[in-house]
Amino acid sequence: MVTLEAQPYSKDISVSTTPSQNCPNPLNPSTTVRCALPPRSHVTISIYNTLGQLVSTPVNDEEEVGYHDVKFDGSNLGSGVYSYRLRAGGFV
């Protein structure tokens, strides 16, 4: 289950897309990734295992300007290290 929660627009959002460190890290078994989107963008968040295999795409949608919290539940994944990739417009 993934929820994408948009926070109200803030004038202090930088001119570029900004991802934040997920918390908690490592995920136990869920984590939250925060990002800021200055322009409305198509956002994709992809989760990969250590072999570089795509294991989940919790977000693949058009998102509004603002701060966004993505809550990812990895309880269906095995123990291990996972990486995420955030793509928003031209930012990766």
DSSP symbol at 91: B
Residues spanned by the domain of 7 = 2-88
Rounded Cα–Cα distance for residues 2 and 12 (Å): 26
Instruction: Write out pLDDT tens, residues 2-38.
Output: 444 444 444 444 444 556 666 655 556 788 888 888 8
* pLDDT tens figures, 28-80: 678 888 888 888 899 999 999 999 999 999 999 999 988 888 888 888 888 88
23: amino acid identity, one letter: C
* Contact indicator for 58, 47 with CB cutoff of 8 Å: yes
Please give the torsion angle defined by the CA atoms of residues 45, 46, 50 and 55, in that order, rounded to the nearest 10 degrees: 140
Q: Tell me, what CATH number does 61's domain have?
A: 2.60.40
DSSP at 14? -
3-state secondary structure of 48: strand
CA angle centred on 2, ends 67 and 64, rounded to 5°: 30
Count of domains for the chain: 1
